[in-house]
A and B are shown apart, each in its own frame.
Chain A
Amino acid sequence: MQQAEPEIIFDDKIEQEIKIEPKDWMPEKYRQTLIRQISQHAHSEIVGMLPEGNWITRAPSLRRKAILLAKVQDEAGHGLYLYSAAETLGIGREEMYDQLHTGKAKYSSIFNYPTLTWADIGAIGWLVDGAAIMNQVPLCRASYGPYARAMVRICKEESFHQRQGFEILLTLGKGSKEQRDMAQDAINRWWWPSIMMFGPPDDSSPHTIQNTKWKIKRFTNDELRQRFVDICAEQVKVLGLELPDNDLKWNEERGHYDFGEINWDEFWEVVKGNGPCNKERLETRQKAWDNGAWVREAASAFAEKRNGL
């Protein structure tokens, strides 16, 4: 029997929805794309711990404190699952950290905005986690096995994250005028960055076509964004609050909500590193890593000493 070329076998697997596993042959660009995307996703999880972590010590009830701590801890876990998935592609976690710290690797721009009030924790849960889940659910079917499996685990764990955020806003919405204002202000600040999380519009998204062909991506940025807007436009009514968009209007013909123009200049500015907290976030990560160096070294030295490795 004629041995098929590796590329044909690979394409065939993708075509038939057979997962690609670490030791399988894969095009170098597929490998690089995955490393970039998975590590970027992992970085987003751990940088994403910072804005919310900022409120763990100030959470206003013991219940909320436990929930928020568990949630931010979950994000550390998600980062870890994703780094592990990327490691199956032949890159080490430290190398990925290095790329993060030197600014070579990106993470989701949303985490470069500050968390100014407690309501921000609600808005992040509802909008930012909501958008993340919308992005992530299709990734559970991504063609690369370890990535898809990490995403399944992550999506399962994420399900409470969005609910806790919505619950915070719901409580604030029913609270004092100050609390309602706080909730509305948070939504005003997080709404636009949240819908930017789906990435640039399809006509200027360079990776979409190839990634769709490789079945890393299942829906386009604009498709997912529209779905998210449709859902949030309804949910915000339950909160008795508003989305900060005067152009938001149900379009009977399309069967979707129309919404206003996104300020892509702001998006690219934040991506480039000029967001309100880019510098602070990276410095904090770098500092945690540097301050932990003696701990990691000591544990290695101890293992060598006691286990005779």
Chain B
Amino acid sequence: MNEWPLWEVFIRSKQGLDHKHVGSLHAADAQMAIENARDVYTRRMEGVSIWVVESKHIHASSPDEAGSLFDPANDKAYRHPTFYDLPDEVKYM
């Protein structure tokens, strides 16, 4: 028998915030997935908006590539504001 597909659920907890991954569930179709997400993941007023994506459609980076993908950002300290020494009298910058 064919199991209902797995869906990943993303919830916006309040206006102004990003949708955040909260977990997964099974549903036969997208409409049902949204309703299931509402019933499963927002029983305690956790959300104002729901995204669902069938898990098989998520493409993820591989942990093996994590070094080459993310380590190069390590030595770009100049991208961060704290890198710059400014005199204390400079305000609002």
Contact = CB atoms under 8 A, between A and B. Distances in A.
Interface string B1-32: 11110100000000000000011111011101
A94 interface: yes
B4 A300 contact: yes
Contacts of B6: 87
A3 B15 CA distance: 44
Interface string B24-60: 1110111010000000100110000000000000001
Contacts of B22: 153
B4 A299 contact: yes
Given A77-B40, A296-B4, A23 B60 contact: yes
B47 to A, nearest CB: 13
Contact of A84 (B23, B30, B63): B23
A92 B23 contact: no
A150 B23 contact: yes
Contacts of B23: 81, 84, 149-150, 153
Given A23-B60, A303-B29, A307-B29, A87 B1 contact: no
| Main SS at interface, chain A | helix
Given A80-B40, A300-B28, A92 B62 contact: no
Interface string A71-99: 00110010011001001000011100000
B1 A84 contact: no
A25 B63 contact: yes
Interface residues of A, number: 28
A224 to B, nearest CB: 26
Contacts of B30: 307
Query: Would you list the 9 A-B pairs with minimal beta carbon distance, nearest first?
Result: A299-B28, A303-B29, A303-B28, A84-B24, A24-B63, A94-B3, A23-B63, A84-B23, A300-B28
23 contacts: A23-B63, A24-B63, A73-B43, A77-B40, A80-B25, A81-B23, A84-B23, A87-B24, A93-B26, A94-B1, A153-B22, A153-B23, A296-B1, A296-B4, A296-B28, A299-B4, A300-B2, A300-B4, A300-B28, A303-B29, A303-B32, A306-B29, A307-B30
Interface of A: 21, 23-25, 73-74, 77, 80-81, 84, 87, 92-94, 149-150, 153, 157, 293, 296-297, 299-300, 302-303, 306-307, 309
